[in-house]
Amino acid sequence: MVTRKELYDKCVRILSEKGFSENCGNEVSWVFQDVLGEKNICLSSGGVISREQEEKIVSVIERRSEGYPLQYLLGEWEFYGMRFKVGEGVLIPRQDTETLVDVVVNKYKNSDSLTLVDLCSGSGCIALALEKQLDCERICCVEKSEKAVGYLRENIAVHGSIAEVFVGDVLDDGLREKIPQADVIVCNPPYLTREDMEHLQREVTFEPETALYGGDDGLDFYREIVRRWKGRLKAGGGLAFEIGMGQEDEVMRLMIQHGFLNVRCRKDLCGINRCVIGEYPGNTM
Binding residues for ligand GLN, rule: CB under 6 A, are: 94, 96, 188, 190-192, 204, 212
Q: How far is the CB of 224 from ligand GLN (least distance, A)?
A: 15
Helix (H, G, I), strand (E, B) or coil at 278: strand
**Rounded (10°) CA dihedral 121, 123, 129, 131:** 60
How far apart are the C-alpha atoms of 77 and 79, rounded to whole Å? 7
Nearer to ligand GLN, 212 or 233 (CB): 212
Residue 206 C-beta: closest distance to ligand GLN, Å? 11
E strands, 54-201, are 76-79, 82-85, 114-119, 136-143, 164-167, 182-187
| Minimum CB distance to ligand GLN smaller for 4 or for 274 | 274
Q: CA-CA distance, 147 to 85, in Å (whole number)?
A: 12
Closest separation in Å from C-beta 93 to ligand GLN? 10
If the CB atoms of residues 14 and 200 are measured against ligand GLN, the closer one turns out to be 200
Q: Give the nearest distance from C-beta 91 to ligand GLN in angstroms.
A: 6
CB of 96 vs ligand GLN, minimal distance in Å:
6
Q: Are 107 and 238 in contact (CB under 8 A)?
A: yes
What is the smallest separation between the CB atom of 1 and ligand GLN, expressed in angstroms?
41
Backbone angles phi, psi at 151, to 5 degrees: -70, -40
Give the DSSP letter of residue 122.
T
How far, in Å, are 23, 67, 118, 167, 262 from residue 148 at the CA level?
A: 27, 21, 14, 10, 33
Closer to ligand GLN by CB, 190 or 278: give it. 190
DSSP run (H or E) holding 71: helix 70-74
Please identify, using beta-carbon distances, which residue of 34 and 250 lies nearer to ligand GLN: 250
**Measured from the CB atom, is 96 or 217 closer to ligand GLN?**
96
Nearer to ligand GLN, 165 or 204 (CB): 204
Contact predicate 242/97, CB 8 Å: yes
Closest-approach residue to ligand GLN (CB)? 191
The least CB distance from residue 192 to ligand GLN, in Å, is 5
**For strand 182-187 and strand 233-242, is the pairing parallel, antiparallel, or unpaired?**
parallel
Pick from 242, 227, 216: which is nearest to 122 by CA?
242
